[in-house]
Structure 1
Amino acid sequence: MMRIDVLSLFPGMFQGVFNESILGKAAEKGAVSYHITDFRDYTTNKHRKVDDYPFGGGAGMVLMPQPIFDAVGAVRTEADFSPRIILTSPQGKPFRQRDAEELSREKQLIFICGHYEGFDERIPQHLVTDEYSIGDFVMTGGELAAMAMIDSIVRLLPGVLGNDTSAVTDSFSDGLLEHPHYTRPADFRGMNVPDVLVSGNHEKITEWRHKESLRRTFLRRPDLLANRSLSGKEAEWLSEFRQKNKE
Structure 2
Amino acid sequence: MRIDTSGITPEEETAFLTLKARAVNNGWRRPILSDPGAAAAVDQIDYNFDALGVISPVVCQSSLRAKLLDDRVRSFVTEHPNAVVVDLGAGLDDGYRRVRPPATVDWYSVDLPGMAALRDDVMPPGPSEHTIGVSVTDPAWIAGIPSDRPAMVIADGLFAFLTKEQIIAAMRAITDHFPSGQLAFNDYGRMAIGVWISKLFPQKMFKKVNQLRGFEGYNDPRTPERWNPRLRLAEEFSLVDAPEVELFPTWVRISSRMARYSESMRRSARILRFSF
What band does the TM-score fall into relative to the shorter chain? under 0.3
Normalised TM-score (structure 1): 0.27
Normalised TM-score (structure 2): 0.25
- In our comparison, the structure showing a higher alpha carbon Rg is 1
Richer in helix (by share)? 2
